[in-house]
Amino acid sequence: MNAQAGICAEPNLHALYLMFNRVGDRAELVRRLAKVPTLWQSVSADFPDAGFTGLLAVGSEAWDSLYPLARPPQFRGFMAQEANGQQAPHTPFDLFVQLRADRVDVLHHAGQRLMALLGGLVELAEEMRGFRNQDCRDLTGFVDGTENPQGEHRAEVALVDGGEFAGGSYLHVQRWVHAMSEWERLALKEQEDIIGRTKQDNIEYASADKPLTSHIKRVNLKTPKGESMEILRQSMPWGTMKEQGLYFISCCRTQAHFNAMLASMYKGESGHFDHLLRFTRAVTGAAFFAPSTDFLQRQGQ
């Protein structure tokens, strides 16, 4: 299996996120998408100091039109949520591209090359830039991705193992907008109770001390067999002087883990929803599959 490097990449300083919708010929687009892995390689070779990785994923609604002969077995649309006055909308896109590097100029060059490759076949629907905030903290001030798998375990969590889609990954992407002024009015202990961790030194509360409405309580879930439901987060903060938040990206070998977490955040147990939702809202939500480079290149032949 030859997974796209961007799926399990270690954190970078900068990111460029691009959402596309198809407007041109299907067969020609499939041929051009087959060239994307080579494009990633060329950018890496041209800028070896940048730590560049690229990732291309196909939307659940677009998959059958692009690759009608085979579909990843668990691939379903984004499961929108609505409860307790909060919403996680479903906003489908045909293609998602994540570009990551330690140099902003390299991201610009990579994006320009991709736009040239796909020119006339897609339209750009969303463009966002992500950045590392301090020591990998969300703009709320708390360390993000603390529960992420490390080392070789990243691939075990993120990549499909075996079958035609080996090396691929199920992605869920959401753009969250934080209500920063309201969040910053909270006392430190109030913020920590909402997250379930201390803010400065990132120490998780003891299980008995976590409120049922804390974020960690709502997303640290187990399967019926008692195994942890893990995902690999590739999220980064984004922002302007008017709006800011988190560009959330979940990579996993199954869609089930993210779907369970999202439902737990909004509906919880006995009405105990995630109180972080009082201070942030999802404005987009889409499900994608990032196939292996081998799959992309085979389909383009």
What are the helix (H) ranges across the chain? 26-33, 36-46, 63-66, 104-117, 153-158, 180-184, 188-195, 215-219, 256-267, 293-299
**In angstroms, what is the C-alpha Rg of the chain?**
19
CA atoms within 13 A on the CB side of 11: 20
Cβ within 8 Å of residue 44, ≥6 positions away: 50, 52, 53
> Which of 144, 161, 201, 274 is labelled catalytic?
144
Q: How far apart are CA 170 and CA 189, in angstroms?
A: 36
Check if 144 is active-site.
Answer: yes
What is residue 58's three-state secondary structure?
Answer: strand
Phi, psi of 297 (to 5 degrees): -75, -35
- β-strands 95-101, 14-22: how paired? antiparallel
Residue pair 294/164 in contact (Cβ under 8 Å)? The answer is: no
Residue pair 177/244 in contact (Cβ under 8 Å)? The answer is: yes
Catalytic residues: 144
